[in-house]
Structure 1
Amino acid sequence: MIRLSGRLRSALIIGGQGIRSRKLRTFLSMISLFLGVLAVVTVQAGAETAKTLRLADLELHVGKDGTRQMYIPPMPDAMDAALTTVTGKPGAVGMLGYQAIIGEPDVLPINQGAAPFDNNEGGYYGPGMPMNCDPMTGMCRPMEPVAQPPRGQAIEVVLQGLTGDVRQFRPFRPVSGDWLDFGGDPSYSPRLVINKEAAKGFTRYQIPAEMRVEGATANPTPRIIGVVDDGNPQPTAYVRADEMRNWMPKPSANQMYGPGLQLLFAPGAGETEALVIRKLTGLGVPQEMLHVETVNARKDIAGELAIIRWIFLGMAALVLLIGVAGILNVGLATVGERVEEFALRRAVGTPRSLLAGIVLAETLLTGLLTAAAAIGLAVVALDVGAGLLGSRVPQLQEMTFPWQAGVAGVIAGLVAGLLGGLIPAIRAARIPIATVMRA
C-alpha cells in the first residue's frame, strides 16, 4: 500500500477543501484550461488513429511488418520451381498474377485493362495494349495493332493465384461469403474470391460464367464464393494456384501481370526461403536477381506522421498556454484573498513548503479534473464518430480510444496545473507572519 508523507497528504487534503469551498472559481479555471487539454488529447488521438488507419491500409497492399517478399524472374522453370517449393509450406505463400476476362467470348471487356468501373476511361489501367515480352531480359515491346472486337458483357480482372492463405500477411477484411479453402484436391471449376471493386462489375452487369486467361488450354467456368476488401482500386480476384494450373500447366512470362510471381515469407520461414534460393540458383538464376525485402511499414510512415503530429501539438500547446494563464490569474487572485489565512498558518508553525504545496495541490487537482473531463469527451466523440462513419471506413469499427491520448491529456493537465500554480505558490510561501496582525 502506497503511503503519502504527512506534508503531501496535508497539502492534498487542504487543497481539496479549497476546491470545494470555491466551486465557481474552480469551474472557471477548468473552462479556461479545458480547451487546451482537449486540443492535446484530440491531436494525440487523431495522430494514433491516423497511424492505425494508414498502417492498416499499407498492410493490405505490402503486408504486415516483418514480412519478407521476393520477386521471381519471369523464367518459366524458375517460377515453376518456386511455386512447387512453397506450396503447402507454413509461413510461405506464392502469388501469381494474371489478367483474366470473365464473360462473353470474343468481345472487349467493359473495363478494358482491368480499369475501375467508376473511372473507365483508359489511362493508367488501360485499355490494355498487346505486348511482346522477352522472358530472359524482361523487356516488353508493343505488338502491331489489330482490329478490335466489339464491347460486350464481360469484365477484366487481375487474377491472383495463391498457393496458401495470404491473409496471414495481408489481413483482407471479409465483406460476404467465404475465403478460399486450400484443403482438399483442386477443383476444375476455379473458386474465386473477388474484391469490392470487382463486385461492382458483377452487380451492375449480367456476366456469363466463362473465364479466359491467356495460355489456358480451355475456358474454365469460375465460381464466386466470397467478397473481400483488399484496398485495391482495380477489380481483382483471388484463386487457388493449383486450380488454375489444372488449365495452365506451366506459367509463362507472356501470361504474367505486374511483377509476375511474388513470394511472401513469415519471419520464421527462413528454411523455406533458403530452399527456394538454392533451387533457383541451381537452375541458373543469378544471385543478384533474387533480392529479398523486409516490410517495415511503421518505419515508412513514422516520419510523415511525426511532422504532422508536432505541427498540431504546437498549435495545441498555444491553446494550452491560454488555460495556464487563466489558472495563473485565478491562483493569484485566490492567494491575494487568503493572505491572512496563510499568515496565520505560518504563525502557528506551518512550513513555507506546505503553504506552497497547498496552492500547488489545488491547481494540480484542477488540472487533473480538467484532463478527466477532456478525455471523457474525447472517448465519447470517438465512439460516436466510429458509429456514424463505421460503414464508410470499416477500420473505425474496431477502433478503440488510444491510451497514448489519455496519458497525453493527464500530462497536459498536470503540466498546466504546475505552471499555472507555481507563481501563486511562491507568493503564498513568501507571505510574512506579520501580515496576521492585519486581522
Structure 2
Amino acid sequence: MIRLSGRFRSALIIGGQGIRARKTRTLLSMVSLFLGVLAVVVVQVGAETTKSARLADLELHAGKDGTRQTYLPGNADTIQIGQDTLKGRTDAVAISFTQAIIGEPGVSPVNPGGAPFDQPGGGQYAYPDGVEIFCDARGYCQPMQVAGDAPDVPVPGQAIELSLNALTGDIRQFRPFRSVSGQWLDFSSDPSLSPRIVVNLEAAKGFMRHQVPAEMRVEGTTANPTPRIIGVIDDGNMHPTAYTRADELQNWVPRSSNAGNYGPGLQVMLAPTAGDLEQLLRIRLTASGMPAEQIHFETIQARKEIAKELALIRWIFLGMAGLVLLIGVAGILNVGLATVGERVEEFALRRAVGTSRSLLAGIVLAETLLTGLLTAAAAIGLSALGLTAISALFGDRDQFLQDLAFPWQAGVAGVIAGLAAGLLGGLIPAIRAARIPIATVMRA
C-alpha cells in the first residue's frame, strides 16, 4: 500500500513537471476540452436552477411536500365546522374562496370575472339567430336588453374584481409566499371591523393603474366593508387575488348565508404531524351528515410529480454536452499520442534505469488527469462568474434571477467530466508509453 502510494505521488510529480515543460501543448489540450466541460457544467447549472425555480413556484401553487390537504363542499355547515375546528391552530389552515369587487358601487369592474389586467375582457356578440349576447371575461354570457343597445349589466366604472381567500391561520407554512412590500396578516390580534387584506402582484398592478374607492362588495354581506391593503406578496398566481382573515370577513357575512359566499368550497391544509386534527375534523363532518366517502385527504408530493420531467430534460442536454466533451477527449488523445511519440527515448531510458511499466503509464495519465482538472476549474470559475453577472444585470427584471447561487452539483459534475475526459484521452497514450521496449534507448 505504501509502495503504491509512493508510485502515485511520483507519477503526479513527474506529470506536473511534464505539464510545466510543455505549456503550449497543455494549453491546446485544455482549449479542446474546455467547451465540453463547460457544456456539462452549464447544463448542470441550468438543471439545478430550473429545478429550484420550478419547485419554488410549485410550492406557491400546490404547497410543500408532505402537507395533507382536502377539499370540502361549500355549504354552511362545512364552512363553519372547518373554521371552528381549525381556529387557533398553528399547524393547519382552512381557506374559503369567494369573489370580491373593490371600488365604486353599482358598476362593472375593469376586469370582469377577476381576469388579469393585461388580457382583454368580454364584449358584445351576435348569434346566428340575431340575438345580441354580452359575455364577460369569465365566459358568462347573457342576452342584451331588447329595448336598447346596452347589455343588461352594470356600466363600467372604477372597480376591480379579484378572488378573495379567507384564511383561519398563516398559510405561508404550507405555501411559502414571497413578500414584496408591507406585511402579512396578523392572526394573533383581535379581528378588525375593517378587513385587512394582502394582495398579490397582479392585484397590486390593478390598484396601481386604477384609482378606486376603498369599498369592498362581497356577495351575502350585510354592508360593504372598507378594506385596508397592508401588504403585497408574490403567490405565483396570474389572476388578481387577495387574502384576508376569515373572522374579519365573517363580521360582515351572516352565518346563515355562508352557503352562497364561498363558491367552490373549503380547502384544508394540515401539517404532517396534525393527525389528531385530521381525525377530529373527519368526526365532526361525519356527525354533521356529510358522507365519509366525500372526506378525502391526500399528501402533496410536488417533487415526485416533476422529478421524471426534469430528469428527462437533464439527460437530453447532458447527452448533447457529452458529444461536445467527446471532441475534447479526441483532442487530448491526439496531443497525448504526439507527446508520447516525442518522448520515446525518455520513457525507454526510464525503463532502463528500473522504472516500472505501471509508473510510466501513471505519468502519462497524471498529465492528462491534471489537464482535465485544470480545465474543469476554468469552466467552473467561468460559469460561476457568468451566473453572478446574470443575477446582477437581470435580477431586477425577474425575481427568479435574483440571488442566484452556483449549485455545488454543477461543480461536482464539472470535476467528474474533467477527470473522465482526462482518463479517456490519456488511456491509449499511457498504454503505448508502458509498452515502449528498453532496447529503444540503445537504438537512440
TM-score, structure 2 as length reference: 0.93
Which 5+ residue runs of structure 1 have no aligned equivalent?
Answer: 131-141
Q: Match of 1:126? A: 137
Mapped partners of 2:310, 2:188: distance in 1: 42
Q: Match of 2:148? A: none
Q: Secondary structure at the match of 1:97?
A: strand
Contact 2:361–2:431 (CA under 8 A) maintained in structure 1: yes
Q: Match of 1:82? A: 82
Contact 1:212–1:220 (CA under 8 A) maintained in structure 2: yes
Contact 1:114–1:125 (CA under 8 A) maintained in structure 2: no
Deviations 1:113-170 (A, max 9, x none): 001111032499834649xxxxxxxxxxx99998212011111010010111111111
How many residues align? The count is 426
The equivalences for 1:321-360 within 5 A come to 321-360=326-365
Q: Match of 1:212? A: 217
Q: Secondary structure at the match of 2:406?
A: coil
Could you tell me which of 138, 157, 162 is aligned with 2:162?
A: 157
Deviations 1:73-106 (A, max 9, x none): 1221122101110111121011111100111111
Q: Secondary structure at the match of 2:265?
A: strand
Mapped partners of 1:419, 1:18: distance in 2: 19
Deviations 1:4-49 (A, max 9, x none): 7110000000000000000110000000000000000111111111
Q: Match of 1:51? A: 51
Which 5+ residue runs of structure 2 have no aligned equivalent?
Answer: 124-134, 146-150
Could you tell me which of 147, 166, 175 is aligned with 2:180?
A: 175
1:69 and 1:415, CA in 2 relative to 1: closer, same or farther beyond 3 A? Answer: same
Q: Match of 1:254? A: 260
The equivalences for 1:298-337 within 5 A come to 298-337=303-342
Cα offset, 1:68, TM superposition: 1.1
Q: Match of 2:380? A: 375
1:119 and 1:4, CA in 2 relative to 1: closer, same or farther beyond 3 A? Answer: farther
Instruction: Judge which range, 412-421 or 119-128, deviates more.
Output: 119-128
Q: Match of 1:244? A: 249
Mapped partners of 1:88, 1:143: distance in 2: 47
Contact 1:33–1:370 (CA under 8 A) maintained in structure 2: yes
Structure 1 counterpart of 2:259, one-letter code = A
Q: Match of 2:28? A: 28
Mapped partners of 1:291, 1:143: distance in 2: 40
Contact 1:159–1:237 (CA under 8 A) maintained in structure 2: yes
Mapped partners of 1:118, 1:3: distance in 2: 73
Deviations 1:220-260 (A, max 9, x none): 00011111111111111110110001111326332223x32
Q: Match of 1:137? A: none
Structure 1 counterpart of 2:254, one-letter code = P
Could you tell me which of 408, 412, 430 is aligned with 1:403?
A: 408
Structure 2 counterpart of 1:233, one-letter code = M
The equivalences for 1:56-135 within 5 A come to 56-122=56-122, 126-127=137-138, 129=140
Mapped partners of 2:279, 2:50: distance in 1: 37
Mapped partners of 1:260, 1:433: distance in 2: 87
Contact 1:115–1:125 (CA under 8 A) maintained in structure 2: no
Mapped partners of 1:413, 1:320: distance in 2: 9
Mapped partners of 1:125, 1:437: distance in 2: 96
Structure 1 counterpart of 2:435, one-letter code = R
The equivalences for 1:281-300 within 5 A come to 281-300=286-305
Q: Match of 1:263? A: 268
Task: Please state if 1:434 is matched with 2:426.
Answer: no
Structure 2 counterpart of 1:252, one-letter code = N
TM-score, structure 1 as length reference: 0.94
Mapped partners of 2:143, 2:92: distance in 1: 36
Mapped partners of 1:55, 1:415: distance in 2: 31
Contact 2:144–2:152 (CA under 8 A) maintained in structure 1: no
1:125 and 1:108, CA in 2 relative to 1: closer, same or farther beyond 3 A? Answer: closer
Cα offset, 1:416, TM superposition: 0.2
Deviations 1:391-411 (A, max 9, x none): 222133233111111111000
Mapped partners of 2:4, 2:178: distance in 1: 51
Structure 2 counterpart of 1:255, one-letter code = N
Q: Secondary structure at the match of 1:256?
A: coil
Mapped partners of 1:120, 1:63: distance in 2: 30
Aligned-CA RMSD value: 1.9
Structure 2 counterpart of 1:303, one-letter code = K
Contact 2:220–2:254 (CA under 8 A) maintained in structure 1: no
Contact 2:177–2:233 (CA under 8 A) maintained in structure 1: yes
Task: Please state if 1:10 is matched with 2:21.
Answer: no
State the identity as a percent.
69
Contact 2:194–2:227 (CA under 8 A) maintained in structure 1: yes
Cα offset, 1:332, TM superposition: 0.3
Q: Secondary structure at the match of 2:10?
A: helix
